[in-house]
Amino acid sequence: MALRKRHPLLKIINGALIHLPSPSNISAWWNFGSLLGLCLTLQILTGILLTMHYSADMTTAFASVAHICRDVNNGWLIRALHANGASFFFICIYLHIGRGLIYGSYLYKETWLSGVAILLLLMAIAFVGYVLPWGQMSYWGATVITNLLSAAPYTGPQMVNWVWGGYSVDHATLTRFFSFHFFLPFLIVAMSFIHLIFLHETGSNNPAGLNSNMDKIPFHPYYSFKDLFGYLLFFLLLTLMSLFSPNLLSDPDNFTQANSLITPPHIKPEWYFLFAYAILRSVPSKLGGVIALAASIFVLMLVPFLHMSKQQSMTFRPISQLVFWTLIATVAILTWIGGMPVEYPFITMGRVASVLYFSLFLFFFALASWYENKTLKLN
Amino acid sequence: MALRKRHPLLKIINGALIDLPSPSNISAWWNFGSLLGLCLTLQILTGILLTMHYSADISTRFASVAHICRYVNNGWLIRALHANGACFFFICIYLHIGRGLYYGSYLYKETWLSGVALLLLLMATAFVGYVLPWGQMSYWGATVITNLLSAAPYTGAQMVNCVWGGYSVDHATLTRFFSFHFFLPFLIVAMSFIHVIFLHETRSNNPAGLNSNMDKLPFQPYYSFKDLFGYLLFFLVLTLMSQFSPNLLSDPDNFTQANSLITPPHIKPEWYFLFAYAILRSVPSKLRGVIALAASIFVLMLVPFLHMSKQQSMTFRPISQLVFWTLIATVAILTWIGGMPVEYPFITIGRVASVLYFSLFLFFFPLASWYENKTLKLN
């Protein structure tokens, strides 16, 4: 038997990347899994290079980032790749989740739920990572979001002080956020392996949502090269952005060092959190807003159990597709609203969009599925 | 079939910690593998807690360690556990290697070689970790050892400046050593999994060095409880040391902040590196000393290929046992010599012990094996 099939380590690689039976019809939407692995590797490598020059001390953090961009050989490139790499990480993961929703891949429940765990870890990492440059938006964004914990009844304010390590976002907060930002990615690595173990129990889904066991092709060379092509496209876009327009997705306020005495007029997170931020601000009550914020991500965990259709994929279900694209439009509107100040007409639009977001997941998908089942007489 | 045997994740845990067939006669020396896993977990946990309060700036690093020990709640304990935990990590790994040498476990070549990789990673991690408190011994130990790279012909001096990030051990060196110290343990975690994968191909050796397939016990409950007992003993000794005598194995010079203008009279590493330090200093030439230093660890890689005996274990081989204990005594003498200044009579004793160290591995072990084979007519 070939070495790659019997060696204890090589056979793991063989079964995942060479001989893995894969459906013959998976489209470009299936590239995002491997792209996410690439993002993770890129972020870890650029991140480790950045930590070799970053200073996690409150008085010197901001200056150390400027030092990296100006004095360290190719530091500007490493920093640009890391910051924009984070944005691309979220682009890929949102498209990956969208693929899972439209093609019903969430029916592989363990894979889906481990994926939600990875999303939560990624959001935590991005949140603490954004604090590290210690700009105005870093400091105030951290203050706003960590203060949300005080909404917890009875122990709230105490928990906030415990997270801060003091009475405000200060030196202790920065050092522990640096610590979290450094080691949580390794948890993502471990979780990714678990995600893949579960995926390889069932094998990949495909656009038709039908059993593909009669038409499988080996991962290598078909999807190894397809993924490689995806990598090339990814790097093209990432380097185009990092080299020509590295600050396109950044907030200009973060070029000012953090100042606890000056509050910026518009505190908002990076674009990938704006939809959740809009949902948070839609609810008048603080605790209600926090619960809605958490629910906006945790609703993904409910999706497998709300699947009503007799078909796995939405490919042959035009009404569900309509609901899906309404969801995408709703998230886009929420992202836009999250970047707007809390004024007329954005407040009302945000509330309508938030209600729509939850009702699409909890009601309209199920309704569309029921109607499609009935029409196609699939009961 | 039971859930633990068919669930994709649980069956991995089951095959490693519950239903793993283990020899019935493995002694206390077989506890050190699981103890090393415990050490790694302990070091990672205490380390992450320390990074939440450690300051990465050169002007405040030393003060931040004092801050941890004095003001952070239980900081003194976390720091003592981490520093002494490193010592215990080395105690366990040296006893683990000794077991491997004595009982011929190195014949499982992949397991042994991945273990040597683990040893090298551990030594690298400990070396960069010791620099972080930025005491006198941290700074000067780092200066001495990183300067050894300059012995490399032609590119040596350039490589040293590349490692330093400057013209001496300075801020840039410290930030990158912090970075290395933080992420290398995760490489150790990954390598440990590879080590255990290879071990479970052959299953454990046993004191007799004979095939034990006819008399295996399940890991749970026999060795799970035996390992748990080992953990309790480990924690007893570790906490005794951390709480009654935390500085027993430390150097008093490290309580003084690093000063590039004042060289301590006796620069020496922590006890676990002293044997290698003695071998390094025995050789008059700088380059050859560095080669000898590297060889003193890499000789372990040659051990499987120098095994001449017809028996795996030394249990029934008294002459090899004599050679083995001579090796242990030699390493003890080298450790003692490494802590002594470079004067009469320590220089000569060190040279004799260094020569003895290498000849035991390369000559006396095979010689003893050949004689035992001949005497027992095992050819």
Residue B11 has pLDDT above 80, yes or no: yes
| C-beta atoms of A9 and B194 within 8 A | yes
As for how many domains chain A has, the answer is 2
Interface predicted TM-score of the whole assembly (ipTM), two decimals: 0.88
Q: Tell me, what CATH number does A317's domain have?
A: 1.10.287.980
Please state, in angstroms and rounded to a whole number, the distance separating the CA atoms of residues A195 and A112. Answer: 8
**Domain presence at residue A64:** yes
Q: Give residue-wise pLDDT tens across range A277-325.
A: 999 999 999 999 999 999 999 999 999 999 999 999 999 999 999 999 9
| C-beta atoms of B197 and A8 within 8 A | yes
* Paired tokens of A30: 């299936």
**For chain B, what percent of residues have pLDDT higher than 70?**
100
Q: What is the pLDDT of residue A100?
A: 96
Hey, what long-range contacts does B191-196 have (CB within 8 A, 24 or more apart)?
A: B191/B114, B191/B117, B191/B118, B191/B121, B192/B36, B192/B37, B192/B40, B192/B118, B194/A9, B194/B114, B195/B111, B195/B114, B195/B115, B195/B118, B196/B16
How near does any CA of chain A get to the CA of B268, in Å?
26
Query: Which residue from B302, B5, B58 is spatially nearest to B171, judged by alpha carbons?
Result: B58
| C-beta atoms of B48 and A179 within 8 A | yes
Question: Out of A55, A179, A189, whose CB is closest to B175?
Answer: A55
A178 and A279 share one domain = no
**Domain presence at residue A235:** yes
| C-beta atoms of A57 and B55 within 8 A | yes
**Mean pLDDT for chain B?**
93
Number of continuous H segments (helices) and E segments (strands) in chain B: 15, 2
**Domain presence at residue B166:** no
Q: What is the pLDDT of residue A187?
A: 95
Residue B287 has pLDDT above 80, yes or no: yes
A273 and A235 share one domain = no
Count chain A–chain B contacts defined by CB atoms under 8 A: 73
Report, as ranges of residue numbers, the positions in chain A whose pLDDT lies below 70: none
B110 contact residues in A (CB cutoff 8 A): 8
A28 and A173 share one domain = yes
Calculated CA dihedral for residues B188, B190, B192, B193, nearest 10 degrees:
170
A255 and A370 share one domain = no
A13 contact residues in B (CB cutoff 8 A): none
Contact present, A88 and A238 (Cβ < 8 Å): yes
| Residue A288 CB neighbour total at 10 angstroms | 13
Query: Which residue from B88, B117, B122, B104 is spatially nearest to B230, judged by alpha carbons?
Result: B88
Residue B56 has pLDDT above 80, yes or no: no
Query: Which residue from B116, B129, B257 is spatially nearest to B181, judged by alpha carbons?
Result: B129
Please state, in angstroms and rounded to a whole number, the distance separating the CA atoms of residues B285 and B194. Answer: 38
A114 and A224 share one domain = yes
Gyration radius of chain B's alpha carbons: 22
**Domain presence at residue B222:** no
A246 and A324 share one domain = no
A70 and A148 share one domain = yes
Q: Tell me, what CATH number does A31's domain have?
A: 1.20.810.10
Running DSSP on this structure, what letter comes out for residue A4? H
Q: Give residue-wise pLDDT tens across range A15-39.
A: 999 999 999 999 999 999 999 999 9
Q: Three-class SS string for A315-327?
A: CCCHHHHHHHHHH
Q: What is the pLDDT of residue A57?
A: 87
Mean predicted confidence (pLDDT) in B155-182? 90
Q: What is the pLDDT of residue B58?
A: 80
Interface of A with B (CB under 8 A): 8-9, 48, 51-57, 59-60, 110, 165, 171-172, 175-176, 178-179, 182-183, 186, 189, 194, 197-198, 201
Running DSSP on this structure, what letter comes out for residue A361? I
- Most A-contacting residue of B53, B55, B184 (CB-CB within 10 A), to test interface: B55
How near does any CA of chain B get to the CA of A245, in Å?
29
Q: Give residue-wise pLDDT tens across range B228-270.
A: 999 999 999 999 999 999 999 989 999 999 999 999 998 999 9
Nearest CA in chain A to B48: A179
A253 and A287 share one domain = no
User: Positive or negative CA dihedral for B200, A195, A25, A231?
Assistant: negative
Residue B170 has pLDDT above 90, yes or no: no
Gyration radius of chain A's alpha carbons: 22
A231 and A273 share one domain = no
CA atoms within 13 A on the CB side of B20: 23
Nearest CA in chain A to B11: A197
| Residue B6 CB neighbour total at 10 angstroms | 10
| H/E element, B217 | strand B216-218
Please state, in angstroms and rounded to a whole number, the distance separating the CA atoms of residues B275 and B358. Answer: 12
**Cis peptide leading into residue B221 (ω within 30°):** yes
**Domain presence at residue A5:** no
B53 contact residues in A (CB cutoff 8 A): 165, 172, 175-176
Which residue range forms the structural domain that includes residue A345?
268-378
How near does any CA of chain B get to the CA of A171, in Å?
9
Query: Which residue from B42, B121, B131 is spatially nearest to B85, judged by alpha carbons?
Result: B42
A325 and A252 share one domain = no
Question: Out of B51, B52, B179, whose CB is closest to A52?
Answer: B179
**Mean pLDDT for chain A?**
94
**Domain presence at residue B184:** no
Q: What is the pLDDT of residue A175?
A: 92
3-class state of residue B154 by DSSP: coil
Question: Out of B60, B175, B201, whose CB is closest to A52?
Answer: B175
**Domain presence at residue B340:** yes
Q: What is the pLDDT of residue B59?
A: 83
How near does any CA of chain A get to the CA of B91, in Å?
26
A251 and A374 share one domain = no
Q: What is the pLDDT of residue B379?
A: 74
Mean predicted confidence (pLDDT) in B198-220? 93
Question: Out of A54, A59, A175, whose CB is closest to B51?
Answer: A175
How near does any CA of chain A get to the CA of B198, in Å?
7
Regarding beta strands B216-218 and B21-23, do their DSSP bridges make them parallel or antiparallel, or are they unpaired? antiparallel
Mean predicted confidence (pLDDT) in B59-85? 93
**Domain presence at residue B42:** no
| C-beta atoms of A182 and B182 within 8 A | yes
| C-beta atoms of B51 and A186 within 8 A | no
pLDDT confidence tier of residue B57, bands split at 50, 70 and 90: confident
From start to end of chain A, where are the E strands? 21-23, 216-218
What separation in angstroms does the CA of B155 have from each of A5, B162, B167? 42, 10, 15
Query: Which residue from B160, B147, B283, B157 is spatially nearest to B291, judged by alpha carbons?
Result: B283
